[in-house]
Each structure stands twice: as structure tokens, then as C-alpha cells.
Amino acid sequence: MDDILIYGGVEYIPMYNCSARTPEQWSTETGASQPIIGSLQIAYGVVVNLLKVQFLYIPIIIIMLDKDNFKLSCFKIMFQLAITDFFVIFINSILTGILGIQGAVYCTYPTLIYITGSVAMSLWCSSCCTSLILVCNRLLVMSKPHLESAFFENKKTFLILSCSIIYGIYFLFTTPHVYNSKHHAWFFDPMIFPQRSKEYDNLSHAINNFSIVVLTCMLYIPFYLIVRGNLKGTMTESRLHSTVSNLESLRHQKSQKVRAVLIFFQKTQVFIQSVLICFSSQVAAIIYVIMNLTEVSAGLILFGHFLWQLVHGAPVFIYIILNDMIRRRFFKMLRCNKNNSTAVGISIINQSNIVPQ
């Protein structure tokens, strides 16, 4: 973006100057129409965004913005991720599909592709940072609640989230991704000067992507240990209560077992939820770095791009499937939740020391 300000327009940036050929010639020589893949991309993007907006995100956002829920830091973080996902899906699915059908390359629509590539880069890196914040938040809630309160209480969450926004803005001023229909993905190299492709490398992007992988793996080690410790704690409690013989104690034992199992099940759901969201991010991050540094197969490139789409399209479905509180409230809002038999379970969870996930 800084080059646009320096040179007065995308077409005037020396390394992105397409004046050697017409847009049609560039498309014919360096692009390839992808009608089937492009149509599938558009369909995926439209369906996902429509479903998310009309049936998922609006109810979920209403749930998140409820005064009793939005005061929880996790919902503030999830809200920011939801907004980011919507705009990224528009770029990496809908716009990408349209460009693919046309067989477009960077020089077909230089200004459009340069700007949207910069925005996509910024949103991707910002969402990577926000996802790590979410994992850190969940880890602290499960292990050190007092530290979670110290870092995320009240408006402190917004301050931390503003760091992820600033982090994303930084990438607006680095080498952008630009689209190429022959490979149906976004690369740093606009493929204008074949002998100078290495000059488009984006070191900041590579550092971001590999850092996400390393940091996420590091965070999942204590995450796993906490979940395993909770399981052991639940088993120990069960053994202790099994020695109680009178009826009143047995009733109390049953109540404690149910409570312990529900808490453990809830924490396990958080773990699975985070793994599913972050796994796709890790693999997509690695593939996108590798394919920009060296030549790889077309199948791997398509797989990497698919994972990038999945990263931003899947979380809302994961929340609905694995997040008990959001799922209950969601179906209640859609008048689909006719069964109130979970009231006792909800009460137990709400009375526990665990913040609702």
C-alpha cells in the first residue's frame, strides 16, 4: 500500500507495471480459465456467507452481544474472528471464483487484485494473531483464571484485540498476494518479470505463518496436560466417593460425579474446538509459504487454497456443533429447541467455576 502512495497508483509501481502487454494478452499468455473450479469457489463462498449471515452469525452475534455473554472475553474474541471470516471468504472464494472463470491474472485487473490481495494478507495475519489470542485466553481460563482476569477483564480484551488489528495493518504495507488463474491461487509474484520472481518474496508473511505453527503447537502441550489432568482428577474423585455407603452420601456422590463429568466434557469440547480451528490454519500456513518459495504440484496448491477457505468458513459450524451454550441458544432462537431436559446440566455448568465456553 505504501508503494501506491509513493508512486501515485498501482500501475505506476515499477515492479507491478503491466504496460508491456494489454490485459487480454496477459490473461491469454499467463492465465487459464477455470470454469468448474471457479464456479465451485463462488458457490462455496456465497452459500457459506449466506448461511453464516442469515442462519448462523446473526443469531450467534446476538448471543455474543448479550450483556451477560459479551462481558466474557472469549465472545469478544470470537466476534472479531467472525467479522474477519466474512470478508476473507468474499475475497478467497467469491472474488477468486469470478477471476478463475475469467482466466484472470494480476495484469488483467491490477488495481483490484493488488488492493484485495493486500487486504486479504492483512486479514489473514490479523486472524492468525486473533486465533492465538483465543487459544491463550482458553488456556488461562482452564489453568490460571486469576491471570485470565488480569489480562482480559472488562475492556482489557479490546486493548489486546487492537494489537491484532494493528498487527494486520502492518501487512498492508508488505508485498501483497496477487491472483493467478493458471494455478488458481494467490502468489506474491505477479509473474510479470520471470527472472525477478525472488524479489517479490515476503519475509514477514513467512515469519507469521511459521510462528503460528510453532506457537500453536507449544500452546497445545499445556492444553493437553490440563485436559489429561482433569480426567485424572475426575477418576480420583469417583474412587473417593465410591467408599461412601449411606444414601445421602451416595446422592451427593452422584451429583459431584455429574458435575465433574460435565466440566471435563466441556473442557474437552474446548480442546477439540480449538484443534479443529487451528489445524487447518497450520497446514494452510505451511503450504502457502512453501508454494511461494518453490515450485510445487498443482494439487498441493489447490489443497492449500482450499484449507485457507476452510479456515475462515468452518469456525462458525464448529461453534454450533461443539459449543453447548451457543448451540442451545442458537436453536432456541430458531424455535427448534423444544427440549428443556438440559436445564439441570446448564445450571450445573453455570454454577461451576468454569467460564461458559
**pLDDT tens by residue, 214-273:** 787 777 777 767 766 665 555 454 444 554 445 445 455 555 556 666 666 666 665 666
| Cβ atoms of 298 and 183 closer than 8 Å | yes
- DSSP per-residue codes, 256-282: HHHHHHHHHHHHHHHHHHHHHHHHHHH
Q: What is the pLDDT of residue 280?
A: 72
**Which positions of the chain have pLDDT values less than 50?**
235, 237-240, 243-245, 247-248, 250, 337-357
Tens of pLDDT, residue by residue over 310-323, are 888 877 677 667 66
Whole-structure pTM value: 0.77
User: Going from the N-terminus, what domains does the chain have, and what CATH number goes with each?
Assistant: 1-237+263-330 (1.20.1070.10)
Q: What angle do CA 230, 127, 305 make, to 5 degrees?
A: 105
Q: What is the pLDDT of residue 344?
A: 31
> Cβ-count burial of 52 within 10 angstroms (0-12 exposed, 13-18 middle, 19+ buried)?
buried
Q: What is the pLDDT of residue 347?
A: 30
